[in-house]
Amino acid sequence: MTLSPAFRKASTKDTPEFADAAHRRESAWAFRSGADTYDDVRPGYPPAVLELVDGCRTVADLGAGTGKLTAPLIDAGHDVLASDPSPDMVRVLRSLPIPVWRSTAEATGLRAASVDAVTCAQTWHWVDAAEACAELDRVVRPGGRVVLVWNNLDVSHPWILRLARIMHSGDIQRPGFIPEVHAPWHLAGELRTTWVQHLCVEQLFDLMASRSYWLKSGPEVRKRMTENLRWYLFDRLEYQPGQLLAIPYRTDAFVLER
């Protein structure tokens, strides 16, 4: 049996590394399936993220996934539109009472100057930043803003760092990272905060299954990942079935203005 690597330093990268645009698109396309699992175990976002679009009436949530940020935006009283390129994500997203369609941040399908704000949560690292910035300049009204948001497993906790290694996830963006942004947009503000999500120990297997690495992998790799995680949680850490765990997260959000 091949076990997870021993403790190593967390990633120092600002973004995932792709060989080229085709590699990025192929990796993102892994999310063509698995939307129900994603919706069950992926975390939402701290309430402070919603404050970043205060005063914006119409908000387009692009790369919305299953609606982890979309639904709170609706509850906060915004007029919300939402899109995602994955047909499976959109299938779940359509349970929300708003306009939903398939598109990318580079080609949104929105009319020019039609929204007051755009949100991209857990999305920006999958897009061509230069093309997306040009498209958002087209669709966001004068005086509007763009909000980019990431949740990362907080790998400053050693056990979470090893968990992230086993899952092939979690420490992609280093603490303090700045996203790639192109004119006319510039970074006008940021939010950095930590919080916890509570999951039963068994749900960590589903959390692993919601990652692009798992979704792209075949049966043998998935079998090895599952055994590594089982060993780590039950043998190494001695957690018990049904035990509730506090999973620490780090949220980084950025406000872009012209």
Percent of the chain scored above 90 by pLDDT? Answer: 84
- In the three-class reduction of DSSP (H, G, I as helix; E, B as strand; rest coil), residue 60 is classed as strand
Structure tokens at 117: 């704000």
- The whole-number pLDDT of residue 37 equals 96
pLDDT in tens, 37-65: 999 999 999 999 999 999 999 999 999 99
Average pLDDT value over all residues in the chain: 91
Residue with tokens 């929204």: 115
Residue 7 included in any domain: no
Residue 41 included in any domain: yes
pLDDT in tens, 224-235: 999 999 999 999
- The whole-number pLDDT of residue 6 equals 45
Residue 212 included in any domain: no
* pTM (two decimals): 0.89
Residue 105 included in any domain: yes
pLDDT in tens, 163-214: 999 999 855 688 999 999 999 999 999 999 999 999 999 999 999 999 989 9
With cut-offs at 50, 70 and 90, classify the pLDDT of residue 128. very high
- The whole-number pLDDT of residue 176 equals 92
Q: If you average pLDDT over residues 93-116, what whole number do you get?
A: 97
How many domains are contained in the chain?
Answer: 1
Residue 188 included in any domain: yes
Q: 17 versus 108: which is more confidently predicted?
A: 108
Q: How far apart are CA 138 and CA 149, in angstroms?
A: 21
Nearby residues of 229 by Cβ (< 8 Å), 6 or more positions away = 163, 166, 167, 204, 205, 208
Q: How far apart are CA 87 and CA 102, in angstroms?
A: 7
Residue 120 included in any domain: yes
Residue 141 included in any domain: yes
Q: Which domain holds residue 132?
A: 21-153+173-198+244-257
pLDDT over 90 at 71, yes or no: yes
As a dihedral over the C-alpha atoms of residue 153, residue 158, residue 163, residue 169, rounded to 10 degrees, the angle is 40
The CATH number that applies at residue 127 is: 3.40.50.150
- The whole-number pLDDT of residue 29 equals 57
- The whole-number pLDDT of residue 174 equals 87
Residue 62 included in any domain: yes
